[in-house]
């Protein structure tokens, strides 16, 4: 009874599509001739029975877009050479893109046909019919396609090799896409594989064969040919390469610093009266958090405030800032330094705070932080060290990078859609790489002027001195204030610990501008304490309330 039910269900599934569509495929014959140059000639003879309705013709969808095991897109290279009837008379046809398929639309739009009609489609497969492995080659081919909504009453297929094979192996699968049902009716000779399914194929069922043979029977494509195919299949990667080339050219003419022709000479003092924040910004184009916090240390060294550890609990370490003198009208201060002090103490005279805790500035200093950074940029532009605001230039290029990435994606999507093709992984990658190319250059597009490039050499010279200083050299310099005077500069350069080690045993008394909780004092202990302090300051200065 179960066998009867299964048989009945099969025949109902087979007959329903033909009733629904009014036609069916009486026979489908495929002959694949493999050539020594790894190409193949495919001849498909389709006999369509339009007995139930009048039609203009039919269309054959051949899958041509694939993704390999590495996730790379590749395109089957095929060329339709003829479409004829059983007598060799040509049928009118046109080729269309239909997603991942090459569609062969056959028939005259001004003419209706009925009854049995024969369509013989011949096409050359230039790439994709043969797959090459280290120990063998094989032909993996869908002989009928799985896109037919109507059934096929009879299917026959032949695959021919260019010469006799010693190790010819074949396996075939029948059924819907992904089916593991193996075809048993396979005959092989030394040069040919013949497949005859014992049953009709239902709608959306197909026949796929895998035929393998020993190496050498078919010539493998050369590396140059494989690379050429890859370029043609993945031409979208040329877009980010073109953008990378354009950005390289643009950087060369618009972003590259002028050449000074001067050598870097070690400097023992900050050049041109630059503050630590200005020097750090000149070095990397960024007025960063480290530059701002080092400014506070420099102001403390210069006597404008003291910094004291107010709480030593590791989970809640706090600092007390105490104003030591008025600052608002002090001509010795740069604008960003005055704004820094004003953000902490308010007015720079008796009307302001004398003492503030770092914790009191939480969620309140972020506007001042932005103003301080802006003032640093303005000062360097006013001194003609930068050819424009580096932060603005970076922002414009970052916005441009986002626009280019989105634009490339939209254009590629529209291009694929207009051709009836699907969007594949390379389009995503091309858009992402286009964005990345511009984003990377956004960092280096700010440019120093010739004056700025010359000062930069001196900045690098000072950094070299602070990094490589040793006790013998600083002892010979005999300058008691040298350590404190250059400490904030060493901090913006990231060499504070190296600078402190050079003064071990020479700088023995704790500073008056910083009161720590140490039991024994040393320059390296001070350096570690200041690193911890500026880290806490940075977190507080940039904290902002949630919107």
Helical (H) or strand (E) element with 475 = helix 471-477
For residue 310, count CB atoms less than 10 angstroms from its CB and return exposed for 0-12, middle for 13-18, buried for 19 or more.
Answer: middle
- The answer to whether 327 touches 304, Cβ cutoff 8 Å, is yes
What would the pLDDT profile of 92-122 be if each residue is shown by its tens digit? Answer: 999 887 777 889 999 988 888 889 999 999 9
- The residue among 210, 224, 63 whose CA lies nearest residue 131 is 210
Question: What 3 state SS string does 35-103 have?
Answer: CCCCCEEEEEEEEEEEEEEEECEEEEEEECEEECCCCCEEECEEEEEEEECCCCCECCEEEEEECCEEE
pLDDT value for 478: 83
Lowest-confidence segment of 7-11, 81-85, 285-289, 301-305 by average pLDDT: 7-11
Average pLDDT, integer, range 523-544: 92
Average pLDDT, integer, range 338-359: 83
Residue 239 has pLDDT above 50, yes or no: yes
Per the listing, tokens 């020479």 go with 506
Per the listing, tokens 């026979």 go with 27
- The residue among 29, 26, 27, 25 whose CA lies nearest residue 157 is 29
pLDDT value for 348: 52
pLDDT value for 71: 60
Q: Is 426 helix (H, G, I), strand (E, B) or coil?
A: helix
Lowest-confidence segment of 126-140, 307-321, 399-413, 433-447 by average pLDDT: 307-321
What would the pLDDT profile of 57-75 be if each residue is shown by its tens digit? Answer: 899 998 887 766 656 667 7
- What percent of the chain is modeled with pLDDT above 70? 91
Q: Cα separations (Å) of 444 from 391, 393, 546?
A: 11, 10, 32
- The answer to whether 459 touches 281, Cβ cutoff 8 Å, is no
Residue 344 has pLDDT above 70, yes or no: yes
What would the pLDDT profile of 20-70 be if each residue is shown by its tens digit? Answer: 567 999 999 999 999 999 999 999 999 999 886 788 889 999 888 776 665
- What percent of the chain is modeled with pLDDT above 90? 63
pLDDT value for 3: 42
pLDDT higher for 139 or 475? 139
pTM for the predicted model, two decimal places: 0.66
Q: State the Cα–Cα distance between residues 274 and 383, nearest whole angstrom.
A: 10
Residue 372 has pLDDT above 90, yes or no: yes
Residue 362 has pLDDT above 70, yes or no: yes
Q: State the Cα–Cα distance between residues 277 and 372, nearest whole angstrom.
A: 10
| Contacts of residue 429, Cβ cutoff 8 Å, sequence gap at least 6 | 236, 237
pLDDT value for 68: 63
pLDDT value for 167: 86
Q: Is 457 helix (H, G, I), strand (E, B) or coil?
A: helix
Residue 5 has pLDDT above 60, yes or no: no
pLDDT value for 1: 45
């Amino acid at each position: 009874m179960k066998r009867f039910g299964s048989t009945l269900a099969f025949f109902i599934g087979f007959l329903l599509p033909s009733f629904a569509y009014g036609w069916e495929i009486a026979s489908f014959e495929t002959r694949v001739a493999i050539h020594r140059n790894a190409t193949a000639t495919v001849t498909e003879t389709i006999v369509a029975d339009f007995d139930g309705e009048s039609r203009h013709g039919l269309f054959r969808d051949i899958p041509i877009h694939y993704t390999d095991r590495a996730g790379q897109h590749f395109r089957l290279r095929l060329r339709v050479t003829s479409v004829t009837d059983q007598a060799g008379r040509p049928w009118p046809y046109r080729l269309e893109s239909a997603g991942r398929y090459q569609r062969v639309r056959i028939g005259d739009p001004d003419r209706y046909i009925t009854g049995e009609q024969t369509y013989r489609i011949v096409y050359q497969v230039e790439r994709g019919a043969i797959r090459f492995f280290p120990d063998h080659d094989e032909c993996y081919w869908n002989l009928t396609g799985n896109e037919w909504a109507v059934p096929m009453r009879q299917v026959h297929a032949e695959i021919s090799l260019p010469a006799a094979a010693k190790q010819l192996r074949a396996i075939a699968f029948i059924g819907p896409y992904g089916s593991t049902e193996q075809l048993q009716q396979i005959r092989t000779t030394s040069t040919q594989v013949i497949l005859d399914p014992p049953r009709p194929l239902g709608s959306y069922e197909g026949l796929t064969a895998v035929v393998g043979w020993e190496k050498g029977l078919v010539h493998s494509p050369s590396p140059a040919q494989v690379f050429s195919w890859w370029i043609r299949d993945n031409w979208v990667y040329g877009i980010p390469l073109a953008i990378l080339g354009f950005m390289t050219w643009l950087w060369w003419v618009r972003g590259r610093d002028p050449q000074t022709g001067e050598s870097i000479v070690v400097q023992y003092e900050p050049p041109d009266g630059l503050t630590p924040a200005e020097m750090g910004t000149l070095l990397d184009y960024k007025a960063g958090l480290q530059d701002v916090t080092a400014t506070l240390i420099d102001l403390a060294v210069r006597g404008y405030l003291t910094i004291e550890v107010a709480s030593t609990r590791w989970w809640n370490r706090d600092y007390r800032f105490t104003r030591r003198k008025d600052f608002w009208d002090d001509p010795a201060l740069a604008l960003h330094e005055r704004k820094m002090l004003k953000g902490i103490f308010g007015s720079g005279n008796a009307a302001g705070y004398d003492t503030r805790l770092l914790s009191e500035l939480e969620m309140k200093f972020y506007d001042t932080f932005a103003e301080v950074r802006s003032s640093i940029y303005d000062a360097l532009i006013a001194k003609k060290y930068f050819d424009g605001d580096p932060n603005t230039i970076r922002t414009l290029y970052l916005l441009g990078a986002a626009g280019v990435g989105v634009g490339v994606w939209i254009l590629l999507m529209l291009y694929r859609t207009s051709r009836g093709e699907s969007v594949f992984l390379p389009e995503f990658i091309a858009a992402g790489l286009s964005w990345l190319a511009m984003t990377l250059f956004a960092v280096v597009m700010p440019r120093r002027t010739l004056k700025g490039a010359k000062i930069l050499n001196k900045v690098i010279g000072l950094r070299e001195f602070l990094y490589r200083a040793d006790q013998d050299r600083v002892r010979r310099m005999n300058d008691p204030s040298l350590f404190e005077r250059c400490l904030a500069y060493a901090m913006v350069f990231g060499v504070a610990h190296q600078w402190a080690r050079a003064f071990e045993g020479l700088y023995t008394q704790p500073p008056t501008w910083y009161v720590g909780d140490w039991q024994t004092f040393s320059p390296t202990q001070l350096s570690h304490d200041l690193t911890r302090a500026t880290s806490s300051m940075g977190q507080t200065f940039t904290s902002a309330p949630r919107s």
